[in-house]
Chain A
Amino acid sequence: MSAQPGSGPQQLAEKALELSRADGAVVMVDESSTANLRWANNTLTTNGVAANRRVTVVSTVDGAEGVAAAAVSQSGVDADSIEALVRASEQAAREAGPAPDARALLGAEAAGVLQGMRWDEAAAATDIEVFAGLAPALGESFEAARANGQLLFGFAEHTLVTTYLASSTGVRLRHDQPTGKLELNAKSPDFVRSAWGGAQTRDFADVDVVALAAGLGQRLDWQKRRIDLPAGRYETLLPPTAVADLMIYLYWTASARDAADGRTVFSAPGGTKVGRRLGVPGLRLWSDPGAAGLESAPFLAAAASSAQASVFDNGAPLAATDWIRDGVLERLLTTRQSADDTGLPLAPPIDNLLMDAGGTASLDELTRATADGLLLTCLWYIREVDPQTLLLTGLTRDGVYKVEGGEVVGVVNNFRFNESPVELLGRITEAGRSEVCLPREWNDFFTRTSMPALRIADFNMSSVSKAS
Chain B
Amino acid sequence: MPSLDPTFAALPLRELAEAALARARELGVDHADLRSERIREQSIRLRDAELDGVNESVDSGLAVRVVHRGTWGFAAGTVQTPEAAVRLVEQAVRVAEVSAPVNTEPVVLAPEPSHGEQTWISAYEIDPFDVSDAEKIALLSDWSRRLLAAEAVAHVDAHLQAVRENKFYADTNGTVTTQQRVRLHATLEAVAVDEETGAFETMRTLAPPVGRGWEFLQGVGWDWEAELAALPGLLAEKLAAPSIEPGEYDLVIDPSNLWLTIHESIGHATELDRALGYEAAYAGTSFATLDKLGTLQYGSPVMHVTGDRTVENGLATVGFDDEGVQTQQWDLVKDGILAGYQLDRRIAQLKGLNGGRSNGCGFADSPGHAPIQRMANVSLQPAADGPSTAELISRVKHGLYIQGDKSWSIDMQRYNFQFTGQRAYLIKDGELVGQVKDFAYQATTTDFWGAMEAVGGPGTYVLGGAFNCGKGQPGQVAPVSHGCPSALFRGIRILNTVQEAGK
Binding site for B on A (CB under 8 A): 34, 36-54, 68, 70-76, 88, 91-92, 95-100, 128-129, 131-132, 135-136, 138-139, 142, 151, 153-155, 157, 183-185, 187, 191, 194, 196, 261-263, 267-270, 303-307, 311, 380-389, 391, 393-395, 397, 414, 416, 418-420, 423, 444, 460, 462-468
- Of the candidates A46, A96, A384, the one whose C-beta lies within 8 Å of that of B72 is A46
B282 is an interface residue with CB less than 8 A from chain A: yes
A414 to B173, CA, bound (A): 46
Chain A residues within an 8 Å CB radius of B198: 262, 267-269
Q: Is the CB of B58 within 8 A of A74?
A: yes
Q: Give a binary string over B67-81; 1 marks a CB under 8 Å from any A CB, 0 the rest.
A: 000011111111110
Residues of A contacting B280 in the complex (Cβ-Cβ under 8 angstroms)? 40, 153, 185, 187, 191, 194
A385 touches B57 (CB 8 A): no
- Contact pick for B102, options A139, A185, A423, CB 8 Å: A139
15 contacts between A and B (CB under 8 A): A40-B281, A71-B56, A74-B59, A92-B54, A95-B134, A97-B51, A100-B47, A136-B101, A138-B102, A157-B473, A191-B280, A304-B53, A388-B200, A466-B413, A466-B444
Residues of B contacting A47 in the complex (Cβ-Cβ under 8 angstroms): 72-74, 95-96, 98-99
CB B419 to nearest CB in A, in angstroms, measures: 10
Collect the chain A residues with CB atoms within 8 Å of residue B54's CB: 70-71, 92, 95-96
A391 near B75 with CB under 8 A, answer: no
- What secondary structure prevails in chain B residues at the interface with A? mixed
In-complex Cβ contact of B57 among A74, A138, A184, A387 (8 A): A74
Whether B418 and A393, one on each chain, are in contact in the complex, defined by CB atoms closer than 8 angstroms, is yes
Q: Tell me the interface secondary structure of chain A in the complex.
A: strand
Q: Are A385 and B407 in contact (CB under 8 A)?
A: yes
- A468 closest partner in B (C-beta): B413
A51 and B78 alpha carbons, distance in the complex (Å): 7
- Give 5 closest A-B pairs by Cβ, nearest first: A76-B78, A467-B413, A48-B74, A153-B281, A185-B281
Q: Are A191 and B200 in contact (CB under 8 A)?
A: no
Residue of B nearest to A142 (CB): B102
Contact of B418 among A43, A53, A100, A416 (CB under 8 A): A416
Residues of B within 8 A of A49 (CB): 74-76, 91, 95
In the bound assembly, the distance between CA atoms of A129 and B99 in angstroms comes to 11
Nearest residue, chain B, Cβ from A394: B409
B55 A304 Cβ-Cβ under 8 A:
yes
* CB contact under 8 A between A465 and B415, given known A36-B474, A128-B95, A187-B280: yes
Does A75 contact B73, Cβ atoms closer than 8 Å? no
Residues on A with beta carbons closer than 8 Å to the beta carbon of B137: 95-97
Partner of A385, one of B60, B74, B98, B497: B497
Looking at A68, A191, A268, the one whose CB has the most chain B CB atoms below 10 A away is A191
CB distance from B30 to the nearest CB of A (A): 16
> CB within 8 A of A155: which of B133, B141, B277, B282?
B282
With A263-B200, A463-B416, A466-B415 as known contacts, state yes or no: A383 contacts B408, CB within 8 Å.
Answer: yes
B450 close to chain A: CB less than 8 A: no
B409 contacts A381, C-beta separation under 8 Å: yes
The distance in angstroms between the C-alpha atoms of A459 and B154, with both chains bound, is 35
- Are the C-beta atoms of B55 and A261 separated by less than 8 Å? no
A76 x B80 contact (CB < 8 A): yes
A residues in contact with B51, CB < 8 Å: 68, 96-100
Q: Is the CB of B411 within 8 A of A72?
A: no
Mark B418-458 against chain A: 1 for CB-CB distance below 8 A, else 0.
Answer: 10100000000000000000101010100000000000000
- B244 within 8 Å of A (CB atoms): no
Indicate if B199 sits at the interface (CB-CB under 8 A). yes
A395 to B442, CA, bound (A): 13
Q: Which residues from A are CB-within-8-Å of B416? A: 395, 414, 416, 463-467
Interface residue from B196, B277, B413 paired with A269 (Cβ < 8 Å): B196
For residue B500, CB closer than 8 A to chain A, the reply is yes
How many angstroms between the C-alpha atoms of A97 and B141 in the bound complex? 10
Give every chain B residue within 8 A of A99 (Cβ-Cβ): 51
- Min CB distance B134 to A, Å, is 4
Tell me if A462 and B442 are in contact (CB < 8 A): yes
Say whether, besides A40-B278, A40-B281, A75-B78, A262 and B200 are in contact (CB < 8 Å).
yes
Residues of B within 8 A of A183 (CB): 281-282, 473
Q: How far is the CA of A395 from the CA of B417 in the complex (A)?
A: 9
Tell me, in angstroms, the Cα distance from A270 to B103 when the chains sit together.
61
With both beta carbons as reference points, the residue of chain A lying nearest to B91 in the complex is identified as: A49
**In the complex, given contacts A36-B474, A380-B411, what are 12 additional A-B residue pairs having Cβ atoms less than 8 angstroms apart?**
A43-B105, A48-B474, A50-B76, A153-B277, A187-B277, A194-B280, A391-B497, A414-B416, A416-B442, A423-B501, A463-B493, A468-B413
B412 A43 Cβ-Cβ under 8 A: no
| Nearest CB on A from B58, distance (A) | 4
* B133 adjacent to A96 (CB under 8 Å): yes
A49-B91, A138-B102, A393-B418 in contact; A41/B78 too (CB < 8 A)?
no
Chain A residues within 8 Å of B60, by CB: 74-76
Q: Is the CB of B105 within 8 A of A397?
A: no
If the complex has contacts A73-B58, A269-B195, A416-B411, are A100 and B95 also in contact, measured as CB distance less than 8 A? no
The reply to whether A46 and B372 form a contact with Cβ atoms under 8 Å apart is yes
